[in-house]
Each structure stands twice: as C-alpha cells, then as structure tokens.
C-alpha cells in the first residue's frame, strides 16, 4: 500500500500512512499563473495499491483529485482507493428547483471513473455513495469525538436538531452519558431558530455534536439557548469544520467553551483525528 497525500489533507494522509506502516508520498501541488492546478507525485513508481487522500471541496481540490487519479494510474497504481474526508457538494443531493443539476451525483459519477474503492467520513447523505459503481463506505467520526472528550467532564451530549440525534446518541453512548436534541428551524442559509431547550440543562456541561459547522449560525443559536437554560458550559464538536467567512471567530469569540472539529478539513481547531478510523477500514477486507 502507498498513501498519496493531496494538498487538502497533508497531516491526515501522513498520519494514515504511519498507522498503515506504508510508504507516503505528498503530491506537490501548485497553481499556474492563470490559476489552473498543477500537481506531481515525485516518486519512481506507484506499482502497488494506492490510496489518495484528498477533499473534493473547494472546487480547486476537486480538480486536484481528478489530476491525482490520473497521475497515480500513469505511475502504475494497481488499485486506487479514494479517501475523501470531506465530500463537497453533498448537500446538493437532489434537484430542489427545476433546471438545477444533481450536483452530488455529478461529482460521484465523475470521481468514480478512475477508482476501485471510496471512503468518506460522515457524508451528508449516505445514498450519494450509491452513485459510485465500486465498493464504498461512509465511516463515522463518533468514536474519535467520544475518545477525545471522554476525560473532559461532559454531563450530556446534544444534537442541534433531530436529524443529527443519532450521531449525538452514538457519541453519548460511547462516553456513557445521556443524550438529547434541540429543535431547529432553518430561516435562511446562515440563520436558524432553535426553540427553548426541553431537557434539564441547569448547571450541566454540555457537548453539542454536529456533522458540520458552515456559517456557524446553528451553533451560535444552540449555544444561546443552552446558556438561557442555565448550562454551566457548552463545548462544540463537529466532524467537518467548514467555517465559511468568519464563522470560527464568531464561535470562539463566545466564552462558553471550546469548538473542535475532526481533521477531515485541516484548520487550527481540527484536533480530533479520524486517521485511525480510516486505517481500520482500509485494513478490513471489503
């Protein structure tokens, strides 16, 4: 096995190769003066099973992934496994208004042309993976999040909405604490309304778990509601820290607690590693 790290996932790919005890090659990716992507895998041969670790977000990283797929094939890769820690366009998984494309399907179909296996982490909709004709699996970051917080004195794990309650339960069960969920209504792309917390939060140390933080609107509203409900502290963990615009500053400017995310997207708060979860999946026969 050889792990090739794309530019979006330098630390994660290196850690993965260490766990798999295999050769690691970091792709050298730059931009031409006109902005087009240039990438090169500087090694003699990739005559082995190759795993590429690269996000398909933002668009520049998607292009890099396409180029890496071609480059590893040309260097002799016997099989190609794509590890896509954060699968871009997953929220555009259907036609909401006539005339729109099925963006997630388009991406999966094109990425699937040159690969033998696909691994994603907490993809927005698992059904998107069915657009790949090869074996695929969506891994859950819950174990990594629970492991990180197990010694951090958390009384309860909450999800900001009922849709993500299963993830909160998974984390809570692993930590041996109760779980619950809040009631969220989306008002616009960046604004949400969260109703008054119906569970007891007085004096409690709460951990909010979500699949992603994008604008931060959800977490800002959830923290406010929990503060009003008397929570002693509110920590936040998500799988994908997208943090558009100044979302991270908006969130960490609040003094209630920490915001952390997994290293599916690498940034200054991506301290929770999913490398072990990916290594376990790669080592399984499937």
- Residues acting as catalytic residues: 184
Min. distance of Cβ 186 from ligand R5P in angstroms? Answer: 8
**Burial environment of residue 98 by CB neighbours within 10 A (0 to 12, 13 to 18, 19 or more):** exposed
Q: Which residue has the tokens 């999040």?
A: 145
Min. distance of Cβ 189 from ligand R5P in angstroms? Answer: 7
Residue 133 tokens read as 């004709």
Separation between Cα atoms, residue 35 and residue 125, nearest integer Å: 31
Q: Is 3 in the site for ligand R5P (CB under 6 A)?
A: no
- From residue 191 to residue 230, the character string flagging contacts with ligand R5P as x (rule: CB under 6 A) and all else as - is -x-----------------xxxxxxxxx------------
Min. distance of Cβ 34 from ligand R5P in angstroms? Answer: 32
Min. distance of Cβ 280 from ligand R5P in angstroms? Answer: 25
For ligand R5P, the closer of residues 88 and 216 by Cβ is 216
Element (H, E) at 20: helix 10-20
For ligand R5P, the closer of residues 95 and 244 by Cβ is 244
Min. distance of Cβ 98 from ligand R5P in angstroms? Answer: 23
Residues 6+ apart with CB under 8 A from 99: none
Closest CA to 146 of 272, 17, 283, 280: 272
For ligand R5P, the closer of residues 18 and 245 by Cβ is 245
By CB under 6 A, what part of segment 134-173 binds ligand R5P?
160, 163-164
For ligand R5P, the closer of residues 9 and 218 by Cβ is 218
Number of residues that bind ligand R5P (CB under 6 A): 14
Residues 6+ apart with CB under 8 A from 270: 241, 260, 261, 262, 263, 264
**Burial environment of residue 202 by CB neighbours within 10 A (0 to 12, 13 to 18, 19 or more):** exposed
Strands 28-31 and 37-40: antiparallel
Residues that bind ligand R5P (CB under 6 A): 160, 163-164, 190, 192, 210-218
């Amino acid at each position: 096995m050889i792990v090739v790290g794309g530019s979006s996932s330098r630390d994660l790919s290196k850690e993965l190769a260490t766990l798999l005890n295999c050769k690691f090659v970091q792709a050298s990716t730059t931009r031409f003066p006109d902005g087009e992507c240039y990438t090169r895998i500087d090694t003699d041969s990739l005559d082995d099973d190759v795993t590429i670790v690269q996000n398909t977000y933002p668009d520049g990283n998607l292009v890099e992934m396409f180029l890496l797929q071609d480059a590893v094939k040309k260097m002799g890769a016997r099989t190609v496994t794509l590890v896509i820690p954060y699968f871009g366009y997953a929220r555009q998984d259907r036609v909401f208004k006539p005339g729109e494309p099925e963006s997630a399907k388009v991406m999966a179909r094109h990425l699937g042309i040159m690969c033998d296996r696909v691994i994603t982490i907490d993809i927005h909709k698992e059904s998107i993976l069915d657009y790949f004709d090869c074996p695929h699996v969506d891994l859950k970051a819950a174990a990594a999040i629970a492991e990180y917080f197990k010694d951090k004195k958390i009384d309860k794990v909450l999800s900001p909405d009922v849709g993500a309650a299963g993830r909160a339960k998974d984390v809570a069960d692993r930590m041996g604490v109760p779980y619950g969920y809040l009631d969220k209504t989306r008002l616009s792309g960046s604004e949400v309304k969260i109703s008054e917390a119906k569970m007891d939060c007085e004096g409690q140390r709460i951990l909010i778990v979500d699949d992603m933080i994008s604008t931060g609107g959800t977490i800002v509203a959830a923290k406010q509601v929990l503060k009003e409900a008397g929570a002693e502290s509110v920590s936040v963990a998500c799988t994908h820290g997208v943090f558009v615009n100044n979302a991270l500053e908006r969130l960490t400017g609040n003094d209630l607690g920490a915001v952390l995310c997994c290293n599916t997207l690498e940034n200054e708060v991506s301290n929770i590693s999913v490398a072990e979860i990916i290594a376990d999946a790669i080592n399984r026969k499937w």
